[in-house]
Amino acid sequence: MKSLKKSRNQIDIEDFYSLKIKALWNGFKQEHVSFWFLCFYFLFEYIRPQAQYPIINILPWGMTFLLLTLITAFTNKSIVWVSNPINKLFILFGIIIILSGVFAFNPEKSWSYKEVMLGWIIVYFLVINIVNSEKLLILFLLAYLLFNLKMAQFGSIHWVRRGFSFANYGLNGAPGWFQNSGEYAIQMLIYGSLALALVVSLKDYWGRYKKWVFYTAAIMGYFAVMGASSRGSQLGLAVIAVWFLLKQKNGFKGLIILAIFSVALFYLLPEEQLDRFNEMGEDNSSLQRFAYWVAGVEAIKEHPIIGIGYHNWMPYMTYMYPEGLGPGKTIQVSHNIYVETASELGVTGLLMFLLMTIYAFINNARTRKMATELKNKLFFNLSYGLDAGLIGFLVAGTFVTVTYYPFFWIQIAMIVMLNSVTKNQWMSMPNQKEKKRAPKW
């Protein structure tokens, strides 16, 4: 007699690879409520429907679902604490932020932003511990990519409708973290890289039309980057393309496809945007940024250990340079994640940030090594997609002030999550059972 309800293990993983709606929905329903709340948190934090539909803007939805995720996680019996070097580095980074805030130029300013980094720390640990199986990984990534797809399709279609032309305002994402063109473009770099990795991994399980629908959805992210008119993110996309070329292992055919796609994107750039690249370093925008960077370096020299204070750039620079900076004689944010981190959190804060970055790449390299033994194409390619997104962020971040935005913190959470899920499968291999513990870092 067949059971009326399938257990979690009875849902074939190949149904997940095939992205069968019924299997995915049944899988989602069977997961713990903490996972549901985690997905809803990302929905309301990334897309922010409450800002688009005021009728539902009756609660702080993001914080509400984050707290619900945290509370219900304690009842999730599947959670086993995930150990990773990035955990300790993240905690140390948090301690540096606290010390920087206590001894800040303006402690009240630091205190007013206390919930920002505290939130990312909580989200990081929830993601890496709740998403602890391959099925959960697929469900989480599909939800994450779906939320980003809404922004990608809006941006790419808008760029096509305006005839691939240049616009000073670029493109805008959902209200909140991604509303400005520069921040929106960075998120589309991350989305495009991760989505492309997922499509390349699972395309053999799909029919022709389904395959090209998902390829189109992935490429929309990169199209949105081109339409956003953000030079930093477009440079990031160029670096990603070169990096993919260096990593290309699909033979001559894959090389040709990637080269054609890269050339096509270049020729779609409006003439005005090409002029902006030619003027880079000489136009007022570049000179203004350079003035901020010089002032930031001076602040680092004066406050090398724990910086001028968490979120203290504006009050400090306004006090130190009342006449303003650069050709515009204005005071704005630093427009550089490295200057921002080092000036506000000191060399110690920058060191922790760089160490987390290095260990993120090490995590992905180790994930690929284990995935090769597992013969798991999905894990292997996702690690490259996460690498590409991180590279894009690090390049684009040279020109924008986004240290405390979700980009880096969610990216390292997904990197550790993928490494943990891969390690769980790797440790369950027959030839690993005799080993008493997982490989040491």
Q: In this predicted model, what pLDDT tens digit does every residue of 76-116 receive, in sequence order?
A: 999 999 999 999 999 999 999 999 999 999 999 999 999 99
Cα–Cα distance for residue pair 186/244, rounded to 1 Å: 18
Which residues lie across from 330 on neighbouring strands?
A: 325
| Boundaries of domain holding 377 | 87-283+328-427
The predicted structure's pLDDT at residue 430: 79
Question: 295: which 2 tokens?
Answer: 């002032």
Residue 266 in domain: yes
SS3 category, 324: coil
Does residue 400 sit in helix, strand or coil? coil
* CA gap 318, 298 in Å, rounded: 14
Structure tokens of 347?
Answer: 């060399």
> Span 273-281, mean pLDDT?
56
pLDDT in tens, 107-141: 999 999 999 999 999 999 999 999 999 999 999 99
276 has a pLDDT exceeding 70: no
Residues 1 and 270: their CA atoms lie apart, in Å, by 65
pLDDT tens-digit map of 287-297: 898 999 999 99
Instruction: Evaluate whether residue 48 is within a structural domain.
Output: no
Instruction: Please return the burial class of 195, using the count of CB atoms within 10 Å of its CB with bins 0-12, 13-18 and 19+.
Output: buried
Instruction: Give the pLDDT score at 286.
Output: 81
Q: How many structural domains is the chain composed of?
A: 1
Q: Does the structure show a pLDDT above 50 at 6? A: no
**Could you tell me the pTM of the whole model?**
0.90
pLDDT at 441 over 60: no
For the chain, helix (H) and strand (E) counts, in that order, are: 19, 0
Looking at residues 301-307, what average pLDDT do you find?
A: 96
121 inside domain: yes
CB atoms within 10 A of CB 431: 7
260 CB neighbour count, 10 Å cutoff: 10
Q: Please tell me the predicted confidence (pLDDT) of residue 32.
A: 96
Predicted local distance difference test score (pLDDT) of residue 432: 62
* Token pair belonging to 181: 């063109």
Residue 132 falls inside a structural domain? yes
| Separation of alpha carbons 278 and 62, rounded Å | 42
* Res 255 pLDDT > 70: no
Q: Which residues contact 303 (CB under 8 A, 6 or more apart)?
A: 343, 346
pLDDT in tens, 352-411: 999 999 999 999 999 999 999 999 999 999 999 999 999 999 999 999 999 999 999 999
Angle at which helix 313-320 crosses helix 337-374, to 10 degrees, equals: 150
- Contact (CB, 8 A) for 104 and 110: yes
Give the model confidence (pLDDT) of 309-361 as tens digits: 999 999 999 999 999 998 888 999 999 999 999 999 999 999 999 999 999 99
pLDDT above 80 (res 221): yes
User: For residues 300 and 90, what is the distance between their CA atoms, to the nearest angstrom?
Assistant: 22
Best CA proximity match to 190, nearest among 339, 385, 27: 385
* Confidence tier at 1 by pLDDT (50, 70, 90): very low
Q: Where are the alpha helices (DSSP H) in 375-405?
A: 377-396
Query: How far does Cα 20 stand from its chain's mean position?
Result: 26
Q: Is residue 300 part of a domain?
A: no
156 assigned to some structural domain = yes
The fraction of the chain above a pLDDT of 70, given in percent, is: 86
Q: Give the best-scoring range by mean pLDDT among 155-164, 224-233, 264-273, 420-429.
A: 420-429
Give the pLDDT of residue 381: 95
Higher-scoring residue by pLDDT: 104, 10: 104
Predicted confidence band of residue 436 (pLDDT cuts 50, 70, 90): very low
Task: Give me 142's structure tokens.
Answer: 């599909």
What average pLDDT does the chain have? 88
In a domain, 344, yes or no: yes
**Could you give phi then psi for residue 217, rounded to 5 degrees?**
-60, -40
- 51 pLDDT band, cuts 50/70/90, is confident
Of residues 437 and 330, the one with the higher pLDDT is 330
Contact 427, 135 (CB under 8 A): no
Q: 31 lies in a domain? A: no
